[in-house]
Structure 1
Amino acid sequence: MNPFFDNAPDHRKNGSYRWEQPAGRDDVIGMGTADLDYCCPECVKEACLAIAQENAYNYRKKPDSYFQIVTDWYRRKYGLLAEKEWLSNVPSTIGAIRIALSALTRPGDAVIMQSPFFGPLPRAVESAGCRLVENPMIRQDGVYALDFADFEQKLRDEKPSVFLLVNPHNPTGRVFSPKELERLVALCEQYDVKIISDEVHGLIIYPGKKHIPVLAVSPAARRLSVQVMSMSKGFNLMSLPHAIVAVADPVLRAAWDDEVIPYSFGYATNPFSMAAAVKVMDGSADQWLSDLTDYLKENRDLAVSFLQNEVPGMRATVPEGSFLLWIDCSELGLENPAEFLLEKAGVSVNDGAEFGNAYGQFIRMNFALTRQNLQTALDRIKKAVAAR
């Protein structure tokens, strides 16, 4: 275990969303918003310092070396032979998804996605003037599976224009298998449905699983898909936003360009964001990411085991990727589990209702904390639940 991750800044003092303290309190442990507590790799600091020392922040083009590093990264990590022409950037992954929705839909169209779902995504669908069609995942023995029968029926009956794929899935942590992805893509091809693939959690993958970018699934996937990726979740670069959008099909790419070019993001490239992304993609932080994944796996296993043995009324789904636990609290008999944990345990988590109306008895818990803070939070939860 790398002891680097046992230390973290005091995020209560830096404006952190996750560690924001409620009025009158200064002891709440933040386990909500999906970012990391840890410092970034040293190469990120060095890259940003080099930019800061210039003290000039003029409009900057992305050099050819940037595109070479990105395409090399896709090839090295996934065997995906991406081309420079496929690539563009947007400062936000949610923003990229919203722009892609405008490119691929018209007001009134249906968009299908699996539930539970990350709250900003249905809002993006609604703001595009589209209606959301839910494909609820099936939960069996604590494991979530895709409901292909329901998915195909809704493709046939609701006739969505777009399938919004989230892989790895947020909040369940599922990493979809090659066969699952191939089947999803084949159904979308059969029913003429385009795909927007949110892959922002694709860097943290636990042993036995492998993330497969949608453009690496099949030729059909390359014809149908807009792929959205970012380095942020793997390297704690959330305040250096830099979404990487890849569109292989020329017709889809023209539709994407028609929507994104008017925003002039090409002139607004943040040099710090680009420098950080380049350094973590060129191999400089590979060992750091491997060490982080090992540390997070230990955190995951600690949290899952603790809840199973010490707080059996909280049933956690074991994530295959990401650093988020999706927890069923229905056996506790609480009106609002998230509010209870904040008030009684001093632990802030995401309310399951943010992920769909059917999930008010669930919470989403971020375990990307130092081991000490994680254990303290778990002990508090045990004590609060026992005393309820």
Structure 2
Amino acid sequence: MSTLEVQDLVKRYDGRSVVDHVSFRIEDGEFFVLLGPSGSGKTTVLRIICGLERPDAGRVLLGGRDITDLSPRQRKVGMVFQDYGLYPSMDVYGNIAYGLENQRLPREEIQRRVFEAAEKLQLTPLLRRGIDTLSGGEQQRVALARILARDANVFLYDEPLANLDARLRHQARRDVVAVHRLRGVPSLYVTHDQSEALALADRLAIMAEGRLQQVGLPSELLERPANLFVARFLGNPPMNLLEGEIVSGADGPCCALGELRLPLNPAWQQALTSRPEPTIIVGLRPREIVPPWELEQAAAAASPQLCRCLARALTVEPLIGEVEVTLELPTARQPAPRLVAVWPEPEELEALPAAGAELPIGLDPGRLVLFDPRSERALQVE
């Protein structure tokens, strides 16, 4: 069984921590994605794992074995870089075989592995082609074939699709997943592209300013972000974040958004009463705002707490099969709270709102995420 574990990794440059006590574990056969903006420290974590950098503190364990002090060659790690790291002086066969030749494997074994990897990635007709004659997508497949041919215990990917156009990226993602499934070892994939991350990840970790912000299933991070950074960073469009207040209602606490009052589940009572001030940041995902043409169905199927209110459509942007609407909630105070909603396209196109029109929408208080404005962390229901 092969597992990859990083324990309390720290890396400093010029006294500044670029990796700040990072810990996570990737199980055997798991595809784990490290997502974050440029400069967040995710590539440095990858370079520490493969042995290109040494940590100032912490350990790297592969299959329970401490590999922190081993050379890159001793770690049995397969890595694909953003620039692929191919040798233009060699043909496709030579690039796939290069690492195997360094291991001094028998010629017959090298040939068998190269042809096997090339066949699985549809590279057999290209084996005697020069690297500079290949397209970007073909070069990416050569880089994947090179690690597939190796006897690696973990696969590491450093933004390997960043140089491909949108059409090639879609195919390349399938190639990456195919390589992972063929070998079944832990895979760690680093990217700043959330669409890639959400498409590939079994589990997802978000990193910012050298620290892990949250680790979990992609659906968990989308629905229950641990802090405001994750809420703002993840999702397209990201979670709506509005300033509100906690007020007392007839049946318990309510969240006030302008003139709108959203009754909260009594389970929030303890988390809210322990706070010294009423101000709160309210999070609501764009796809959880109920459109006018689904209100009756949602009211019958959802919780009885579904709140209806009127909102004004500021902008209406048709997408493929969906529509994105910027809404303004009613309030006497300015600026008025605004929400971005993403709705499935209605069967009757006449139902689409026009910019400037008032329309009824539905908000489910049970889907709200509440954040403390000081700590920026999500409040937890007791």
TM-score by length of 2: 0.25
More strand by share: 2
More helix by share: 1
TM-score by length of 1: 0.25
Larger Cα Rg: Structure 1 or Structure 2? 2
